[in-house]
Chain A
């Protein structure tokens, strides 16, 4: 084998290995997180009973935790007790917790909350507009929004209680 063969082999193999190495370093199923650090999209949504509406603009100056969930979602049921506990701990300190029902009926959401308990209001999102505005791909997804209205963190899947606590403590 002479140097020309080696050079030709390297010319083909090195770019291939480089491209594959870049690909192996990523989870092909993970969606890119493009919302963190950006201004949280506005929403104006009503609760499950349609009795009270919530507007993000009116919550300016307070940290907001926005949790997208569904009654049919198993990981949502898993994180529910953690969310209740965190809400009970931080709502008295000025953090606003809001749930948004995703791809589900109000009646199912109410039944879930009756069964599993609740500590904060859940809102209806007709047509899933707010979910799409926030780039939600599935549930649960939870957005931590700063008092200035910036998305500080996005949890994909169940929240990590320790990280949530750390984020809220940093904002208070």
Chain B
């Protein structure tokens, strides 16, 4: 990207931030315009919050930003910004006109919500039954964590006593589980019994080790 192109992008980003924040830079006004218009165009209830915009990059960036938050009434699963449908194109053209006139995002969303209801917003407002959408995931995470915590707590508490017995209605924790690790309880599984040949082989190894260590002879009296 050339330095000029980068500069234009940065300038567009700064202007977009200013406009979305509800204001417009004074130098974005056309000559002779000193403030926002005092009358609303036909179909709108209130005048624009800001002075008209003239920079095409800023207008396009704000239009895209606003239309990406509105639902296409025809295809429904897509935003107005993404949809090629006739209805969405009509809406986007209207948004572009309103942005050019100086209307900010909130004013434009209010206009469409007034005509189509909150359904038109891709992100439903956190009010009424919509709260379910925001609260339910957090609630389920909390419930899930609680269930995991309870399950772990039960496992840790169910540890066999000295005789290997467990409380009535419970199963002993298997070796190597959180129970034995947490409490240090001796619940290791005994080694399997060896055959006679195995025992003899093991004994030969034991004697070899002792011989190498010089421990196979009884200690000499001094």
Contacts and interface: CB of A to CB of B under 8 A. Distances in A.
Interface of A: 8, 11-12, 15, 19, 22, 29, 31-32, 34-35, 41-44, 103, 127-138
A32 B117 contact: yes
Contacts of A136: 87
Nearest to A8: B147
A32 B129 contact: no
Given A103-B90, A138-B73, A138-B74, A132 B119 contact: no
Interface string B115-131: 11101000000000100
B94 A15 contact: no
Given A11-B143, A22-B129, A31-B119, A132 B91 contact: yes
B175 to A, nearest CB: 28
A103 B74 CA distance: 13
A127 B97 contact: yes
Contact of B117 (A22, A31, A41): A31
A107 B86 CA distance: 18
Given A44-B42, A127-B97, A19 B116 contact: no
A128 to B, nearest CB: 4
B98 to A, nearest CB: 10
A43 B86 CA distance: 21
B87 A138 contact: yes
A6 B78 CA distance: 41
Contacts of A12: 140, 143
A86 B180 CA distance: 85
A137 B119 CA distance: 12
Contacts of B90: 103, 127-128, 131-132
10 contacts: A12-B143, A31-B73, A32-B117, A34-B115, A34-B116, A34-B117, A103-B86, A129-B94, A133-B115, A134-B115
B76 interface: yes
A129 B132 contact: no
Interface residues of B, number: 24
Interface in B127-170: 129, 132, 136, 140, 143, 147
Closest 4 pairs (CB-CB, A-B): A137-B73, A135-B115, A128-B90, A32-B117
Contacts of A132: 43, 90-91, 94, 112, 115
A103 B91 CA distance: 11
A35 B143 contact: no
A125 B76 CA distance: 24
B86 to A, nearest CB: 4
B182 interface: no
Interface in B59-111: 73-74, 76, 86-87, 90-91, 93-94, 97
Given A12-B143, A41-B43, A127-B94, A35 B74 contact: no
A136 to B, nearest CB: 8
Given A34-B117, A132-B43, A132-B112, 10 more contacts: A15-B136, A31-B117, A31-B119, A32-B119, A34-B115, A103-B87, A127-B93, A129-B94, A133-B115, A137-B73
A133 B94 CA distance: 11
A133 B111 CA distance: 9
Given A15-B136, A19-B132, A127-B97, A42 B42 contact: yes
